[in-house]
A and B are shown apart, each in its own frame.
Chain A
Amino acid sequence: MRIEHRLRDAAREEMVRVGQEDLRPLELPRHRSRPSWRRLVPAVAVPAAVALTLVFAHLPGREANPPPLSGGDGPPYFVTLPAGAATAGAAVHDAVTGRKTAEIPARGGYAQVAAAGDRRTFFLAEDEGPRCSVRVDRVRLAGDGTVAARSAVPGRFPFDVTAGRMAVSEDGERLAFGGGVSMRSVPQIDERDCGQPNGITVVETRSGARRVWKVPPNPEYEPVENASPWWGADGRTLYFLAAFADSAVEVMALDTRAGGSDLATAADVVFPARWGEMKATGLLHATPDGRTFTVVVCDRRERCGVEDVAAFTGRRVRRVAALPPADWTLVSPDATGRHMIALIAPGEDERIIAGRIDDGYFRRLKDYSGDAGAAAW
């Protein structure tokens, strides 16, 4: 059968799940603003631009104009992946200007990217399909931001690489894939469905050896989509976020050299990551001593910021940056956690603003253009 016929059949089967009688009534706002298109455009665009500048630049104790970057400020390049693309490769960008320096073509389409601590080695994962066959490429950049070497991690791995996030240890020896980690869930795993195990997968990059920790089945299902794994400085402790059925969120630590495959018993709680209406929605970094964690914290209205949190007590000790109100924002730290790439989609159009946050200062990367959905450096 031709592919368009298969698509039509599949989509129509999906569509009949909703009928006219299922639709909820339209809920229009009580008051309607009446600006014309001509007035609306600057009225929206200007405050958005101002907001981006103010939110990032006016952090406590910071001047509005950040000092110029020097050569030693953060990694020299970052790698982006296009949003949701199965057939596109990755792009390398200069981390000071945002200018594209190279392209990394993919066989299928890269879905995950992570950077090792040397700032030059990147791992890119893609599903070669058609059924759950993930390959991982290792790419080393030259000093000018072009691709110097490229090799494949041995083996193919059966999970949904589009879910969650991939992390690489600082020495580049180990990868971790974390889809949703719910400590009280029924993992709806179906190998044919490429189901991401409810747990953590670790892959040795030299041998391709794989190890999986799963959460044992439980009737309560708590859907989550990203465990935000982050490797500790020792290369064996893996930190991640886990959700519980009572809406609790915790940062947990897994000793990946210890025995067992039951994540619920193998991992220890580092700190609870919910503070009233606020909770951690992403784990960005852990200091080498494991005492301070950088997390994304959001409230119920999706107002978010990057904050440092003390281990054990879970006390929020410092706001690193407030994230602007935007349609979509991605923050990706380097290995030190001091430098972050921020990709921001301010509105409905496809335009992505790229910038970097260094010690609380936000700098826009003016020469960046692209429809990125992921980044690492």
Chain B
Amino acid sequence: MPSEQDAEGTVTALYAAHALELVRLALVMVGERETAEDVVQDAFIGLYRRWDGLRERGKALTYLRSSVLNGCRSALRRRRFTPWTDRPPAVPSAEHEFLGREDHREVLRALRRLPHRQRETLVLRYVFDLSEEEIAETMGVTRGTVKSNAAKGRANLGRLFGEEDG
């Protein structure tokens, strides 16, 4: 059984290697940096606490991705139905605003309106370039479900913009 230091060192190393990718994943999902960072911190703390029971430590990144997606789902639920929040809203930077990326904002807003499985599948597939197998493992579904969710997600997202899926 590893020592406390082993777990701490390993999880810290994983954080150094993957935190940025995971915060970015959470940011795309929830659109708010502070929430994204909170979700990722919670995921690593969860991994640290459960380290001894983790059967396949080589799949720690998969566990972290799953945990981040769950955390984002919870954050989106809270945001929608928790009436008050002390957190500031996502405010675009001046540069971001200057570039006038209205289309990008619309795409992301539409993405966040998709059912969560479609939303997550699209982001993992087309933004993070994960394979169908990796996505299936992360989301705990079959490859067939990944294909189906990707197709439905593309179609729904396209429909929101009046485009044919092609």
Interface residues of A (CB under 8 A from B): 2-4, 6-15, 17-20, 23-24, 26-29, 32-38, 40, 82-88, 108-109, 111, 127, 129-131, 162-163, 165, 188, 192-194, 221, 223-228, 241, 243, 249, 279, 281-283, 296, 327-328, 330, 345, 348-350, 371, 373-374
Instruction: Please determine whether B55 and A7 come into contact, CB atoms closer than 8 angstroms.
Output: no
User: In the complex, which residues of chain B have a beta carbon less than 8 angstroms from the beta carbon of A23?
Assistant: 19-20, 23, 37
Query: Can you name the residue of chain A whose Cβ is closest to the Cβ of B85?
Result: A225
Count B interface residues, CB 8 Å.
82
Instruction: Please determine whether B80 and A279 come into contact, CB atoms closer than 8 angstroms.
Output: no
A-B contact pairs, 6 of them (CB 8 A): A18-B27, A18-B33, A26-B44, A86-B113, A328-B74, A330-B81
Q: Which of B12, B74, B158 contacts A28 (CB 8 A)?
A: B12
Say whether, besides A23-B23, A28-B45, A328-B78, A192 and B84 are in contact (CB < 8 Å): no
Say whether, besides A83-B77, A241-B83, A281-B82, A6 and B103 are in contact (CB < 8 Å): yes
A-B contact count (CB 8 A): 212
Say whether, besides A4-B126, A23-B19, A85-B115, A328 and B108 are in contact (CB < 8 Å): no
B58 close to chain A: CB less than 8 A = no
User: In the complex, which residues of chain B have a beta carbon less than 8 angstroms from the beta carbon of A4?
Assistant: 122, 125-126, 154
Q: Which of A8, A18, A88, A224 contacts B83 (CB 8 A)?
A: A224
Q: Which of B45, B71, B115, B125 contacts A84 (CB 8 A)?
A: B115
Output the least CB separation between B87 and chain A (Å).
7
Output the least CB separation between B161 and chain A (Å).
5
Q: Which of A163, A249, A348 contacts B74 (CB 8 A)?
A: A348
Instruction: Please determine whether A226 and B114 come into contact, CB atoms closer than 8 angstroms.
Output: no
CA distance A35 to B85 in the complex (A): 34
Chain B facing A: main interface SS:
helix
B94 close to chain A: CB less than 8 A = no
CA distance A86 to B93 in the complex (A): 28
Say whether, besides A36-B52, A330-B81, A8 and B44 are in contact (CB < 8 Å): no
A-B pairs with lowest CB-CB distance, top 8: A86-B113, A10-B104, A226-B83, A37-B53, A10-B107, A15-B24, A85-B115, A11-B127
CA distance A224 to B113 in the complex (A): 20
Instruction: Please determine whether A18 and B24 come into contact, CB atoms closer than 8 angstroms.
Output: yes
Say whether, besides A7-B126, A18-B20, A84 and B80 are in contact (CB < 8 Å): yes
Q: Which of B54, B55, B108, B163 contacts A10 (CB 8 A)?
A: B108
Output the least CB separation between A10 and chain B (Å).
4
Chain B, range 114-154, C-beta contacts under 8 Å to A: 114-116, 118-119, 122-123, 125-127, 152, 154
Q: In this complex, which of B7, B70, B83, B104 has the most chain A Cβ atoms within 10 angstroms of its Cβ?
A: B83
CA distance A228 to B82 in the complex (A): 10
Q: Which of B7, B81, B108 contacts A373 (CB 8 A)?
A: B81
Query: Can you name the residue of chain B whose Cβ is closest to the Cβ of A107?
Result: B159
Say whether, besides A28-B45, A226-B84, A373-B77, A194 and B109 are in contact (CB < 8 Å): yes
Q: In this complex, which of B8, B73, B84, B103 has the most chain A Cβ atoms within 10 angstroms of its Cβ?
A: B84
Query: Can you name the residue of chain B whose Cβ is closest to the Cβ of A349?
Result: B70
Beyond A14-B104, A26-B11, A373-B77, 15 extra complex contacts between A and B, CB < 8 Å: A2-B166, A6-B103, A7-B123, A8-B127, A18-B27, A28-B12, A28-B48, A84-B77, A87-B118, A108-B160, A129-B161, A193-B105, A241-B84, A281-B84, A328-B74
Query: Can you name the residue of chain A whose Cβ is closest to the Cβ of B67?
Result: A348
CA distance A2 to B152 in the complex (A): 14
Instruction: Please determine whether A14 and B28 come into contact, CB atoms closer than 8 angstroms.
Output: yes
Say whether, besides A6-B103, A226-B81, A84 and B113 are in contact (CB < 8 Å): yes
User: In the complex, which residues of chain A have a beta carbon less than 8 angstroms from the beta carbon of B51?
Assistant: 32
Instruction: Please determine whether A129 and B74 come into contact, CB atoms closer than 8 angstroms.
Output: no
Q: Which of B7, B11, B67, B116 contacts A83 (CB 8 A)?
A: B116
Output the least CB separation between B125 and chain A (Å).
8
Instruction: Please determine whether A29 and B48 come into contact, CB atoms closer than 8 angstroms.
Output: yes
CA distance A279 to B36 in the complex (A): 25
User: In the complex, which residues of chain A have a beta carbon less than 8 angstroms from the beta carbon of B158?
Assistant: 3
